[in-house]
Amino acid sequence: MKKIFISSAISGSERIFDFAEYLHAAKKVAEIMGDSPVMSEDFSAGSYPLIHCFTKK
């Protein structure tokens, strides 16, 4: 099982465009393929390295 990072278009605290439909579809595809989707919305903005997104359980 791989972790798949799925990013979104966010500017500050607001989304630039509404990609909710596409993000949901990407998440479902990752799950169907047996992988673990990691959504950017699951993490707050911070100064920690991106690697924490993949190592957090």
The answer for residues whose C-beta is within 8 angstroms of residue 43's C-beta and 6 or more apart is: 52, 53, 56
User: pTM of the entire structure?
Assistant: 0.65
pLDDT digits (tens, 9 = 90+) for 40-55: 877 766 656 666 666 6
> Residue 37 and residue 33: Cα distance in Å, rounded?
10
Do residues 5 and 12 make contact, with C-beta atoms less than 8 angstroms apart? no
Residue 26 has pLDDT above 70, yes or no: yes
Question: Own/partner pairs for 9-18, CB < 8 Å, 24+ apart?
Answer: 10/40
Specify the higher pLDDT residue, 18 or 32: 32
